[in-house]
Chains A and B, each alone.
Chain A
Amino acid sequence: MRKKPTRKPTIRKLTDSALRTWVAGLIRRQRVIGVQADGERFAFKPLTRAEDLRLDYDVTKIPPKKLFQPAAEPLLEYDQAANYRSIFETEPFVLFGVHPYDMVAILQMDQVFSEKHCDAHYFARRQNATIVVCDVQKASPNVFAGCMGTATIRKGYDVLMTRVGGHYVVEAGSPKGEALMEGLKNRPEADEASLHRREQVWEDNAKFLVRHTLRMKPAEIPALLQRSEDHPVWEEKAARCFSCGSCNLVCPTCYCFDVRDDVKWDLQGGMRRRYWDGCMLLNFANVAGGHNFRKNRADRYRHRYYRKGLYVPAKLGGEISCVGCGRCITACVSKIANPVEIYNRLLEER
C-alpha cells in the first residue's frame, strides 16, 4: 500500500519544549488524537492541550483500533423503499503516540480489512489518519513485545519518535509524515550521537519489553498449535473462563464484528451499525437456524489461540497475529488469558 520514500527521510532532533510547540501547532490546525492519562491508566483521546500528551505511557487500556473500527459504528441508513445511504463519519486526524506493537497490529488489520473485499468504512478512517509512532519508554506490567519481534518497528508509520536521553529523534516514514514534519523544518537535524543512541534504545526495548518469556520463536507457534488440538490445557483453563470476551475486546488484532439494524419509530427506515464482537462469547458462532458450532467453552477458549497463532497468520504470510501488548493478560479477571503461558505450556508434556 505504501511506497518507500525514495529520498532520504527527514530526521530531526526535538527538545521537549520544541515537541510541545509542534503539537500545539498541530492541534490548532487539525484533529489530534493523543495518548493521555485516564485515571491511573492511559487512553487515546482527542488532544486539546499539548501538555496533556503522555508519550511516557506504558500501555493504553484499549488499542488504537477503536479509531479505525469503533466499538459501535454506523454503517448505513435505510428507508422504506429499501434505499440506503452509507455513512462515513470521519475526518483527517493525527494519531499521536502509537507504540510499535500497536502499529504492527494496525498494519496487520490493513491486510485483514483489504482481503478479498476492501472494507470501505475501515479504510475511510485509516486513510484519514497520520500516525506518529513513539518507541516505548516504560514497560507495561504484562508486555511481551520483545518476544514477538514487535518491540520496535522500521516501516509502516508516518512518523517515528524515539526518546534518547533528554530529547526526541523524530523521523518521517512517509510523504504524510514528511508533511506533518514541515512544522519542524527549523529544528536541527538529528546528529550521529543521537542516532547511535536511538539504535541503543531499539536494542534495549527488544531485550527488555519481556515481562513474560516465550520459550520458542514466534514462527514455531503454528506448527506447535497444529499438534495441540487435544491438549488438556484447553479444558483446564476454560473451566475458569467467564466467556466475557474481555481478552478479545482489548486485543489490537481482534476485529470481529456483529451487524445489527435498529428500525426508527416510523417502522420503515432505520440505521445499520456494527459492534465489536468476540469469539469467546457464547453466541458468537450462532448461525441461521439457531445452530451454534462452538457452544463448548473450551472450544471457544482454544479458538482464540488458534486464531492468533495459526488461522490469521495464514492470511498474513505467516506473521503471528499477537503483538505482545499484554492487554489480554491484564483484562482477564480469571487470569487465564496469558498467551505466553499457554504457548509455553503446549511445549511441555501433557
Chain B
Amino acid sequence: MSKPKVAIFDFACCEGCQLQVVNLEEEILDLLSVVQPVEWREAMSEKSDTFDVAIIEGSITRREDEERVRAIRERAKVLVALGACATVGGINKLKNRFAMEEVRRCVYDAAADMPHLDTYPTKAVGEVVKVDYQVHGCPISKKEFGYILRCLVTGKEPFVPTYPVCVECKMQENVCRYEFNEVCLGPVTRAGCGAKCPSAGFWCFGCRGLAEDPNVQAAREVMAEYGKTPEDLQGRLQLFNGGKEQAS
C-alpha cells in the first residue's frame, strides 16, 4: 500500500493546531510511516498541487478563502477539518455579531480598505465544502489526531463522541463545576477532550462545539437554579459557538 499524500493548509487561525501536529515529536516518525506529507507550512518548505488528503486548519473568513478551499476540496480525495476554527468556526465567529465594516475598522483602522482585508462573516470549513473527518478542539489533542489519522488511512470510521463533556468529567471523578457555582458548558459541549478544563479546575469553554442534539433550552432554564441568568450562559457560548442557540 502506498502512503497517502497529505497536505496541511492554514486559513484564519493561530496555527496552533498545526503546531500540535509538529509537536508530536518522536511520534512524527510514526506519522511519517503511514502518510507522506507534501505540503505543511510549519514543518516543510515544499509545496504540492497533488495530494490525497487535505487537512484544513482555520476558518473561512474571506471570499478568496472560500475559492481556495473549494479548489483544495476538488483536488482532495479526503478532507479533514483540523481544530475548532475549522470544525465550528471557533473564536473567529465572535465577529459575526457585528457589522463587517465595524470589524474591519476596529481591527485594521486606516488599512481597512486594503483588498486582502475584505473580511466577511466567518464560516466553519463544513459550511463551505464537504468535510470527511473532524478533529475538534482548541487546540486539538495530539492523541485524537493520531487516532483519527490511523482510522482514515485504514478506512475506519473513528469514534468521536457526540455526547456531552459531563461523561468524561464523571470518568475523571471531577466534582461538577456547577457545585462550585460556575457556569460550565460541559452539559452541552461535545466530549472527546477527556474533560481537560474541568479536571484542571476550570469550567468547560465549549471548544469542541455543541454535543449532538444539545439541550440548550434546558441549560437556559437551569441557570436560575444556580443564581445565574441565560445571558451568563449566552456569554460563554459565544466564545466558541458563535452564540449559537439551538433549543432541541
Taking a contact as CB atoms under 8 Å apart, the answer to whether B212 and A246 are in contact is: no
Taking a contact as CB atoms under 8 Å apart, the answer to whether B170 and A242 are in contact is: no
Chain B residues contacting A275 (CB-CB under 8 Å) are 171
The interface centre, meaning the residue of B166, B186, B187, B221 with most chain A CB atoms within 10 A of its CB, is: B166
Please report the C-alpha to C-alpha distance between residue A314 and residue B46 in the assembled complex, in whole angstroms.
66
Q: Given A62-B173, A242-B187, decide whether A265 and B163 contact each other with a Cβ distance below 8 A.
A: no
Taking a contact as CB atoms under 8 Å apart, the answer to whether A245 and B213 are in contact is: no
Taking a contact as CB atoms under 8 Å apart, the answer to whether B167 and A278 are in contact is: yes
The answer, yes or no, to whether B117 is at the interface (CB within 8 Å) is: no
Q: Is the interface of B mostly helix, strand, loop or mixed?
A: helix
The answer, yes or no, to whether A333 is at the interface (CB within 8 Å) is: yes
Considering the complex, which residues of chain B in the window 193-238 have a beta carbon less than 8 Å from any beta carbon of chain A?
Answer: 211-215, 217-219, 221-222, 225
Taking a contact as CB atoms under 8 Å apart, the answer to whether A41 and B175 are in contact is: yes
Please report the C-alpha to C-alpha distance between residue A265 and residue B34 in the assembled complex, in whole angstroms.
7
Taking a contact as CB atoms under 8 Å apart, the answer to whether B166 and A242 are in contact is: yes
The answer, yes or no, to whether A39 is at the interface (CB within 8 Å) is: yes
Closest chain-B Cβ to A122's Cβ sits at a distance in Å of 18
Taking a contact as CB atoms under 8 Å apart, the answer to whether A239 and B163 are in contact is: no
Contact with A along B158-193 (1 / 0, CB 8 A): 010011101101110101101000000011100000
Taking a contact as CB atoms under 8 Å apart, the answer to whether B215 and A243 are in contact is: yes
Taking a contact as CB atoms under 8 Å apart, the answer to whether A241 and B218 are in contact is: yes
The answer, yes or no, to whether A249 is at the interface (CB within 8 Å) is: yes
Partner of A260, one of B146, B159, B213, B219: B159
Chain B residues contacting A71 (CB-CB under 8 Å) are 171
Q: Given A41-B175, A283-B212, A297-B215, decide whether A243 and B163 contact each other with a Cβ distance below 8 A.
A: yes
Please report the C-alpha to C-alpha distance between residue A130 and residue B175 in the assembled complex, in whole angstroms.
28
Partner of A240, one of B153, B171, B178, B221: B221
Taking a contact as CB atoms under 8 Å apart, the answer to whether B167 and A244 are in contact is: yes
Closest chain-A Cβ to B198's Cβ sits at a distance in Å of 12
Which residue of the partner chain A has the closest CB to B159? A260
Please report the C-alpha to C-alpha distance between residue A144 and residue B44 in the assembled complex, in whole angstroms.
63
Taking a contact as CB atoms under 8 Å apart, the answer to whether B162 and A241 are in contact is: no
Closest chain-B Cβ to A250's Cβ sits at a distance in Å of 6
Which residue of the partner chain B has the closest CB to A240? B218
Chain A residues contacting B215 (CB-CB under 8 Å) are 240-243, 297
Taking a contact as CB atoms under 8 Å apart, the answer to whether A263 and B188 are in contact is: no
A-B CB contacts (within 8 Å), total count: 102
Partner of B153, one of A38, A267, A331, A333: A267
Please report the C-alpha to C-alpha distance between residue A243 and residue B188 in the assembled complex, in whole angstroms.
9
The answer, yes or no, to whether A72 is at the interface (CB within 8 Å) is: yes
Closest chain-B Cβ to A68's Cβ sits at a distance in Å of 15
The answer, yes or no, to whether A334 is at the interface (CB within 8 Å) is: yes
Taking a contact as CB atoms under 8 Å apart, the answer to whether B170 and A246 are in contact is: yes
Closest chain-B Cβ to A72's Cβ sits at a distance in Å of 7
Taking a contact as CB atoms under 8 Å apart, the answer to whether B171 and A244 are in contact is: no
The answer, yes or no, to whether B116 is at the interface (CB within 8 Å) is: no
Chain A residues contacting B212 (CB-CB under 8 Å) are 282-283
The answer, yes or no, to whether A220 is at the interface (CB within 8 Å) is: no
Partner of A331, one of B33, B163, B170: B170
The answer, yes or no, to whether A180 is at the interface (CB within 8 Å) is: no
Taking a contact as CB atoms under 8 Å apart, the answer to whether A265 and B213 are in contact is: no
Taking a contact as CB atoms under 8 Å apart, the answer to whether B225 and A335 are in contact is: yes
Chain B residues contacting A278 (CB-CB under 8 Å) are 167
Contact with B along A224-257 (1 / 0, CB 8 A): 0000000000000001111111100110000000
Taking a contact as CB atoms under 8 Å apart, the answer to whether B153 and A249 are in contact is: no
Please report the C-alpha to C-alpha distance between residue A71 and residue B173 in the assembled complex, in whole angstroms.
10
Chain B residues contacting A282 (CB-CB under 8 Å) are 162-163, 211-213
Please report the C-alpha to C-alpha distance between residue A245 and residue B156 in the assembled complex, in whole angstroms.
26
The answer, yes or no, to whether B150 is at the interface (CB within 8 Å) is: yes
Partner of A243, one of B151, B159, B164, B173: B164
Chain B residues contacting A266 (CB-CB under 8 Å) are 33
The answer, yes or no, to whether A272 is at the interface (CB within 8 Å) is: no
Chain B residues contacting A22 (CB-CB under 8 Å) are none
Which residue of the partner chain B has the closest CB to A44? B173
Please report the C-alpha to C-alpha distance between residue A123 and residue B77 in the assembled complex, in whole angstroms.
47
Please report the C-alpha to C-alpha distance between residue A308 and residue B222 in the assembled complex, in whole angstroms.
26
The answer, yes or no, to whether B154 is at the interface (CB within 8 Å) is: yes
Contact with A along B39-77 (1 / 0, CB 8 A): 000000000000000000000000000000000000000
Taking a contact as CB atoms under 8 Å apart, the answer to whether B162 and A283 are in contact is: yes
Taking a contact as CB atoms under 8 Å apart, the answer to whether A242 and B218 are in contact is: yes
Please report the C-alpha to C-alpha distance between residue A24 and residue B153 in the assembled complex, in whole angstroms.
53
Considering the complex, which residues of chain B in the window 114-144 have a beta carbon less than 8 Å from any beta carbon of chain A?
Answer: none
Chain A residues contacting B147 (CB-CB under 8 Å) are 262
The answer, yes or no, to whether B101 is at the interface (CB within 8 Å) is: no
The answer, yes or no, to whether A43 is at the interface (CB within 8 Å) is: yes
Chain B residues contacting A297 (CB-CB under 8 Å) are 213, 215, 248
Chain A residues contacting B186 (CB-CB under 8 Å) are 244
Taking a contact as CB atoms under 8 Å apart, the answer to whether B156 and A263 are in contact is: yes
Provide a sorted-by-A list of 8 A–B residue pairs whose CB atoms are within 8 angstroms: A239-B217, A241-B218, A243-B211, A244-B167, A265-B150, A283-B212, A297-B213, A333-B176
- Ranked nearest first, the 4 interchain pairs of A and B with the lowest CB-CB distance are A244-B166, A249-B170, A265-B30, A71-B171
Q: Given known contacts A239-B218, A245-B170, A282-B163, what 13 new A-B pairs fall within 8 Å (CB)? A: A38-B173, A39-B175, A241-B215, A245-B163, A245-B167, A249-B171, A263-B151, A264-B150, A265-B30, A267-B150, A276-B170, A282-B162, A334-B222
Residues of B bordering A, CB below 8 Å: 27, 30-31, 33-34, 146-147, 150-151, 153-154, 156, 159, 162-164, 166-167, 169-171, 173, 175-176, 178, 186-188, 211-215, 217-219, 221-222, 225, 248
